[in-house]
Amino acid sequence: MNVVISEKKSQPASQERNRFLDTLRGFAILGVVCVHFGGSFATPANAWTPSFYTGLALNQFFHFAVPLFVFISGLLASPYRSHRQIGLGRYYLERILSIGWPYLIASIAAFFLLGVRQELAGLATDVERARWLFSRFFYYGVHPVFYFIPMILLLYLLKPLLSWLAPAVHRLVVLRRNSAISLRTVMLAVLGMLLALHVLLGVLGNRGILDFYTWCRPNPLFWAVYFYFGLVFPEIAKAVSPEKIKGWLGIAIALIIAGYILDWKVLTDIAVVGQNFERSRADYTYVNPAIMAVNLLVSMFVAGLLVRGADKYNAILSFLGKHSLQIYLWHILVLYFIAWRYASVLNTVKTAPELIVGFAFFTAILIAVLASAIAFLLSLPGRYSVHMSIRKMSDS
């Protein structure tokens, strides 16, 4: 079966996007905003209150958002405007301009408006400050939430190597030995090795042997299994029958629900997390064994939906999905200026926990609308020049 997941060059730009993937990205980015705003209420100081439970539930439910984003990024990077089609230099330039430039602007804003510069000012020497700037911008993120952007840029940097790996192994080893092993099998083997690396780093990070905030959360090698799964998915999907996968989807849903229930019991067990949630390891979600399994299952579930040709579409979520990068980069600043800096607003949310979702939705919509408006305004000079050219051609 052929799975069409990317843009086609023969189509106009308005038709190039996959609306199902945009809907998924919209749902995921809304979840990211819910996680970060809800997480500010899932704290020891607010333990076991209604807003605490709401924030904790949102944190738990949407932890799949980042793995799903990485999978979709690999999926969309696979066949369209490949580095082989446009050249390696232009491929990297496009990634830097489309992601790195907005990241730089948002990082500068966060540096000055969110008090990040105070941390830099506290360093003693110029060498320490230069090291801080380099590591934060290119790996950890200038603001801790920004870790995703350097990570995904590094995965795009590795994409040519990841794309080359399986065909090279197949050509240099398998074909020379006249083996019947297919390219698809080699891809699955590479995927298995990346999965093993993901699990190894997760186990070591969960046990405290490796620092979670260095070796796991921002580490592209930790997330490479999802990105590579997206890269090779179109080829793997050709061998999967849509009818046979229907039963698997049901099993996946059952396992995902079981994982959520197990994790919720741990998160709300006072014997484990402490009387005031002071021993909670909620920040280490990505290396929690149960959550690692759930995240993998969610990505495989989405892959199964794609194999079955899913085309579900929600206009609002798809709109958010189109502007997911801008929402990711700016939602912390927006939440700070409309909520976090005002004690009265936070107290109101604590009395009406459903407002956590309301603020998250408002924040995402506001950023998406502004991003859409700015993009439209920036396109006006080009539209005007095209219009004038058409008029001159008509007059002649």
Predicted local distance difference test score (pLDDT) of residue 176 = 73
Of residues 384 and 188, which shows the higher confidence score?
188
Do 315 and 357 form a contact (C-beta atoms < 8 A)? Answer: no
Q: How do the domains of the chain map onto residue ranges?
A: 13-395
Checking if the pLDDT of 227 tops 70, the result is: yes
Of residues 240 and 390, which shows the higher confidence score?
240
Mind listing the pLDDT tens digit for each residue in 143-186?
999 999 999 999 999 998 998 899 888 888 876 777 778 889 99
Tokens of 10: 């023969």
Do 45 and 350 form a contact (C-beta atoms < 8 A)? Answer: no
Confidence of residue 383 (pLDDT cuts 50, 70, 90): low
Give the C-alpha separation, 320 to 372, whole Å. Answer: 10
Give the C-alpha separation, 152 to 157, whole Å. Answer: 9
Do 37 and 335 form a contact (C-beta atoms < 8 A)? Answer: yes
Give the C-alpha separation, 245 to 239, whole Å. Answer: 11
Confidence of residue 83 (pLDDT cuts 50, 70, 90): low
Mean pLDDT calculated for residue range 44-55: 97
Confidence of residue 381 (pLDDT cuts 50, 70, 90): confident
Give the C-alpha separation, 50 to 56, whole Å. Answer: 10
Do 230 and 73 form a contact (C-beta atoms < 8 A)? Answer: yes
Give the C-alpha separation, 224 to 197, whole Å. Answer: 9
Q: Which residues contact 207 (CB under 8 A, 6 or more apart)?
A: none
User: In whole angstroms, how far apart are CA 119 and each of 99, 133, 276, 281, 337?
Assistant: 25, 11, 29, 25, 20
pTM comes to 0.90
% the chain with pLDDT above 90: 73
Confidence of residue 394 (pLDDT cuts 50, 70, 90): very low
Tell me how many degrees the CA angle 35-38-44 measures, rounded to the nearest 5: 115
Give the C-alpha separation, 113 to 110, whole Å. Answer: 5
